[in-house]
A and B are shown apart, each in its own frame.
Chain A
């Protein structure tokens, strides 16, 4: 091991002593680099108990594989390294707690690192690495790791154990606050920071800046809110993510500027909280007043035509208005699936809404079952033959049979029906000529004619009034007559009466009253009584 160590150390020294251009060209330096890297790997091994490699396998492996082995070894260490570095950045005194040897080593390494800084920056950006480059990077990493490990071992405090470290907690909290409030403030401890930066890898630069600013904020809180507010407003992208080549220079510049700014602020009169609030409010009010004076945004201008708003601006605004109709259904798979389920259930139940055929009416009438007449036929057989012959020979002379009569009746009924229907439907309908029939009608109440035993008595007469009336000429009521008319009528009546009375001589009235006055009265009264009764019935 010691021999190996020695050779390893020698190899390292040799590498360090060689000129940079030698690395770029392939030469025997590769062997040296390999031994150096193996040496460093062994050194690192105790700090990483979980590593899968006991030794760095170098023989026969190409650059990529060697690099991956180293990477595997170093990855877990990097995060712990970062934390340690942060811790040390805050309390540089702890570095001094480490043994003198460590300090020396760190100083040497600082120099080395400063020298190699530029190279490293270039190399870090390149994706591929030659073995020489790897060697350099390894060196750097391993140097950092060594330093941090030593620093870690120097820390001893009562509360802390390997799980909980107050420093780390504070760092974490500050990081969080920095993210919330913005990161544009610097610490007075800038000088120490520069050194810390130089120690770190290029890849970690951005994070370094954040950590730096964390520490700055911690210091700045003690200073005052004013400075913070100003710095917040000035946060810029370049502060965090400046150009790779000019990074260190930029950082240096920023540091110097902010230091100056801080110094200036601290030179002004310190404002009270009330005054700070007032200043804030005033700035807000000014902003709002300015907004009011400016012309309004087109969405707030009421009715707007396309010409008055910028092109395609309506697409960006979320337009929302009420629709009065239900939107058309979107046919998704779920809808289809539900429909199909419905159909399947209906099929299983066999419950369909088909058209039901109506039972059709029979087109042919049923064959009439002719009833056989049992009674003896009235006609003899000869007469039957006779009738048949007559019908065949002279259809006109043949007497009509029962079926013929039925047919006649049917045809008459049908003709009547057709007549009625035609009268309903035809535009030009000429009714059939009426055949006059003669029949005698008496003026007897209708029901008397129809029923044998009339249940009710009816007034309706069979004959019309004009058929009953037997008068002649113009009929006049008594009130319509003129005086002469009246005289004429009276004279006529008298003549008639005289003619009649001339035929039947008038009987003289008998003198019955003297004989029996009582009976006469009784008779008279009886007669009147009877007459009254008759009249009542008549009514």
Chain B
């Protein structure tokens, strides 16, 4: 029934016409094919789950209503009468994982907590010397990161190599006449990309010479997020949080992201317990300091131009001054 010989080579070639590879199937070739297929499969899965989200949310809301009605002892709303039995059964069977509807947004960071993040740092094309210096400083600020020269690489190339080498994030830094003015954090498998503008940048090089400023500890830092109260704020906090790995409990380094009227301040400190008892703490500021201003969040990586925009800043709206998207 089954042919005893393996499939003829010509057939294999037909199957792989979609890729740009040449020649005969070697082991490396087949591995590439597998990677490609795996990516395709994952993307399809992701899109499928994203499609289901709307329905799931509706179901979730109905279950919420029934649950509330049961708790308060009120009659179940009339529109849910028909489905009530089925939904009640599902409510009983739920556990903490299935209770909350998971969105594709959460799925982006689902696997992020299992491994430490691996970051690729690079700049825009033809960077100036101050920008290179700033990028080097950022390399120390973000643990587990690597800096590469940009050269003349295209963004899609960079992302592809990053994916194949299992990087979790790619960070691009842009400048204006030596002053860094843009930061793009792109989470890798398909994850969201956050575009920030940088203001009030103070680099370690500005402060003093290399000897005077001393070395910076490269411990995994503790994180502080202040005033990220809205949903968008939580999203941004998530993006920034997953750039850092999980620290030890007794880590001495602290990275702070503090939001005030949509401007996020980044600060890097090292602390020591002071002399005057447990309540006194000596903070020493280390590392660059800058303000971030979020202007776009896209649901795709940097190279995907047609990716959906989750949020974009609207500075020319008449009520722009009154609205705050990240905090308060």
Is B a genuine binding partner of A? yes
B110 to chain A, nearest CB (A): 9
Residue of A nearest to B40 (CB): A425
Q: Are A340 and B223 interface neighbours, CB within 8 A?
A: no
Q: 1/0 per residue A478-500: CB within 8 Å of B?
A: 00000000000000000000000
Evaluate whether A342 and B225 lie within 8 angstroms (CB atoms) in the complex, with A328-B291, A355-B245, A425-B37 already known: no
* Inter-chain contact total with CB atoms closer than 8 Å: 96
Kindly identify which residue among A343, A356, A357, A424 contacts B256, using a CB–CB cutoff of 8 Å.
A343
Evaluate whether A346 and B261 lie within 8 angstroms (CB atoms) in the complex, with A324-B321, A353-B237 already known: no
Kindly identify which residue among B200, B241, B254, B260 contacts A347, using a CB–CB cutoff of 8 Å.
B254
Q: Are A358 and B200 interface neighbours, CB within 8 A?
A: no
Q: Across the interface, which residues of A come within 8 angstroms of B15, CB to CB?
A: 428
> Is A533 on the interface with B (CB-CB < 8 A)?
no
Q: Across the interface, which residues of B come within 8 angstroms of A354, CB to CB?
A: 222-223, 241, 244, 246-247
Q: Are A358 and B113 interface neighbours, CB within 8 A?
A: yes
Report A423-477 residues with CB < 8 Å from chain B CB. Answer: 424-428, 433
A382 to chain B, nearest CB (A): 40
Q: Across the interface, which residues of B come within 8 angstroms of A348, CB to CB?
A: 278-279, 281
Q: Are B200 and A331 interface neighbours, CB within 8 A?
A: yes
Q: Are A339 and B258 interface neighbours, CB within 8 A?
A: yes
A139 to chain B, nearest CB (A): 68
Q: Are A355 and B254 interface neighbours, CB within 8 A?
A: no
Q: Are B224 and A352 interface neighbours, CB within 8 A?
A: yes
Q: Across the interface, which residues of B come within 8 angstroms of A340, CB to CB?
A: 269, 283
Q: Are A425 and B291 interface neighbours, CB within 8 A?
A: no
The count of chain A contact residues (Cβ–Cβ below 8 Å) is 29
Evaluate whether A347 and B267 lie within 8 angstroms (CB atoms) in the complex, with A324-B320, A325-B315, A342-B226 already known: no
Report A246-263 residues with CB < 8 Å from chain B CB. Answer: none
Q: 1/0 per residue A308-342: CB within 8 Å of B?
A: 00000000000000011110110100000001101
Evaluate whether A356 and B281 lie within 8 angstroms (CB atoms) in the complex, with A342-B258, A433-B1 already known: no
> Is A165 on the interface with B (CB-CB < 8 A)?
no
> Is A360 on the interface with B (CB-CB < 8 A)?
yes
Report A344-388 residues with CB < 8 Å from chain B CB. Answer: 344, 346-348, 352-358, 360
> Is B13 on the interface with A (CB-CB < 8 A)?
no
Q: Across the interface, which residues of A come within 8 angstroms of B271, CB to CB?
A: 343-344, 347
Q: Across the interface, which residues of B come within 8 angstroms of A433, CB to CB?
A: 1
Q: Across the interface, which residues of B come within 8 angstroms of A342, CB to CB?
A: 224, 226, 256, 258
Q: Are A352 and B222 interface neighbours, CB within 8 A?
A: yes
Report B102-128 residues with CB < 8 Å from chain A CB. Answer: 112-114
Q: How far is the CA of A328 from the CA of B112 in the complex (A)?
A: 33
Evaluate whether A328 and B263 lie within 8 angstroms (CB atoms) in the complex, with A343-B254, A352-B222, A427-B18 already known: yes
Evaluate whether A339 and B256 lie within 8 angstroms (CB atoms) in the complex, with A354-B247, A425-B41 already known: yes
Q: How far is the CA of A358 from the CA of B321 in the complex (A)?
A: 40
Q: Across the interface, which residues of A come within 8 angstroms of B205, CB to CB?
A: none
Q: Are A343 and B223 interface neighbours, CB within 8 A?
A: no
Q: 1/0 per residue B29-44: CB within 8 Å of A?
A: 0000000010011001
B319 to chain A, nearest CB (A): 9
Q: Are B316 and A324 interface neighbours, CB within 8 A?
A: yes
Report B253-281 residues with CB < 8 Å from chain A CB. Answer: 254, 256, 258, 260-263, 265, 267, 269, 271, 278-279, 281
> Is B242 on the interface with A (CB-CB < 8 A)?
yes
Q: Are B225 and A326 interface neighbours, CB within 8 A?
A: no
Q: How far is the CA of A344 from the CA of B273 in the complex (A)?
A: 10
Q: Are A358 and B114 interface neighbours, CB within 8 A?
A: yes
Q: Across the interface, which residues of A come within 8 angstroms of B245, CB to CB?
A: 355
Q: Are A353 and B224 interface neighbours, CB within 8 A?
A: yes
Residue of B nearest to A342 (CB): B226
B121 to chain A, nearest CB (A): 19
Q: Are B321 and A325 interface neighbours, CB within 8 A?
A: yes
Q: How far is the CA of A346 from the CA of B271 in the complex (A)?
A: 12
> Is B318 on the interface with A (CB-CB < 8 A)?
yes
Residue of B nearest to A346 (CB): B224
Q: How far is the CA of A347 from the CA of B274 in the complex (A)?
A: 12
Residue of A nearest to B200 (CB): A331
Q: How far is the CA of A3 from the CA of B204 in the complex (A)?
A: 86
Q: How far is the CA of A340 from the CA of B281 in the complex (A)?
A: 10
Q: 1/0 per residue B285-324: CB within 8 Å of A?
A: 0000001010000000000000000000001111011000
A423 to chain B, nearest CB (A): 12
Q: How far is the CA of A331 from the CA of B18 in the complex (A)?
A: 55
Q: Are B200 and A339 interface neighbours, CB within 8 A?
A: no
Q: How far is the CA of A356 from the CA of B199 in the complex (A)?
A: 30
Evaluate whether A355 and B281 lie within 8 angstroms (CB atoms) in the complex, with A328-B199, A343-B269, A427-B18 already known: no
Q: Are A425 and B224 interface neighbours, CB within 8 A?
A: no
Q: How far is the CA of A360 from the CA of B115 in the complex (A)?
A: 9
A259 to chain B, nearest CB (A): 68
Evaluate whether A355 and B241 lie within 8 angstroms (CB atoms) in the complex, with A324-B321, A326-B261, A339-B267 already known: yes
Q: Across the interface, which residues of A come within 8 angstroms of B267, CB to CB?
A: 339, 343
Q: Across the interface, which residues of B come within 8 angstroms of A424, CB to CB?
A: 41, 44
Q: How far is the CA of A329 from the CA of B266 in the complex (A)?
A: 13
Q: Are B261 and A329 interface neighbours, CB within 8 A?
A: yes
Evaluate whether A344 and B224 lie within 8 angstroms (CB atoms) in the complex, with A324-B320, A425-B41 already known: no
Q: Are A344 and B283 interface neighbours, CB within 8 A?
A: yes
Q: Across the interface, which residues of A come within 8 angstroms of B114, CB to CB?
A: 357-358, 360
Q: Across the interface, which residues of B come within 8 angstroms of A357, CB to CB?
A: 113-114, 246
Residue of A nearest to B281 (CB): A344
Q: Are A353 and B225 interface neighbours, CB within 8 A?
A: yes
Q: Across the interface, which residues of B come within 8 angstroms of A360, CB to CB?
A: 114
Q: Across the interface, which residues of A come within 8 angstroms of B321, CB to CB?
A: 323-326
A327 to chain B, nearest CB (A): 10
Residue of B nearest to A435 (CB): B1
Residue of A nearest to B265 (CB): A339
Q: How far is the CA of A106 from the CA of B260 in the complex (A)?
A: 81
Q: Across the interface, which residues of A come within 8 angstroms of B279, CB to CB?
A: 348
B169 to chain A, nearest CB (A): 13
| Most chain A beta-carbon contacts within 10 A, residue among B278, B279, B281 | B281
Q: Are A329 and B263 interface neighbours, CB within 8 A?
A: yes
Q: Across the interface, which residues of A come within 8 angstroms of B200, CB to CB?
A: 328-329, 331
Evaluate whether A355 and B113 lie within 8 angstroms (CB atoms) in the complex, with A331-B200, A339-B258 already known: yes
B256 to chain A, nearest CB (A): 6
Q: Across the interface, which residues of A come within 8 angstroms of B263, CB to CB?
A: 328-329
Q: Across the interface, which residues of A come within 8 angstroms of B258, CB to CB?
A: 339, 342
Q: How far is the CA of A323 from the CA of B316 in the complex (A)?
A: 10
Residue of B nearest to A330 (CB): B200
Q: How far is the CA of A346 from the CA of B283 in the complex (A)?
A: 12
In the complex, besides A324-B318, A354-B244, A355-B246, 13 extra interface pairs with C-beta distance below 8 angstroms are A324-B317, A326-B321, A328-B293, A331-B200, A339-B265, A339-B267, A342-B224, A347-B271, A352-B224, A354-B223, A354-B241, A354-B247, A425-B41
For the complex of A and B, the 5 pairs showing the least CB-CB separation, nearest first, are A358-B113, A425-B41, A352-B222, A353-B225, A357-B246
| Sample (5) of A-B pairs whose CB atoms are under 8 Å apart | A324-B315, A339-B267, A355-B242, A357-B114, A358-B114
